[in-house]
Amino acid sequence: MHELSLCHAIAGVVKPHARGRHVDVVRVQVGVLRQVVPESLEFCWSLVCQQLDENMVDTVLDLELVPAEVFCRACAQRAQITSRWSVCCPACQSTDVDLLRGNEFLVTSVDVSEGVTHEAGSRKVK
């Protein structure tokens, strides 16, 4: 399950930018060709956040799944592909394609709250 290591990598990017503030939402673009199972990533994210820091305990992971898209050099078509296992032009079946989208793995934004204190297990903003 490589999703656990991916979540540790996301947290490693987010934590320095939070600077001790509570992290509310982390937005991540994930290309469909990355072979990431969104449900597994979300589950692993909750585990990593509980272990890491009280400022990330209830952080929401907002995933944007990016479809795969190619440009075919053979027929000059730009098209989305639906297969995760074969990267070829859906119009002419050529494998002479440039991958335009679908391989992303990028933290795009982080929402944080100022002045967070923890009382009786709940988060309160000052």
Residue 6's CB: how many other CB atoms inside 10 A? 20
Supply the DSSP symbol for 85: S
Task: Say if residues 56 and 11 touch (Cβ distance below 8 Å).
Answer: yes
Q: Which of 18, 42, 15, 47 has its CA nearest to residue 116? A: 18
Q: Residues forming the annotated binding site for Ni(2+)? A: 2
What are the binding residues for Zn(2+)?
A: 72, 75, 89, 92
For tokens 């992971």, name the residue: 61
91 and 78 in contact (C-beta within 8 Å)?
no
The packing angle between helices 38-52 and 3-18, to 10°, is 50
Which residues contribute to the annotated binding site? 2, 72, 75, 89, 92
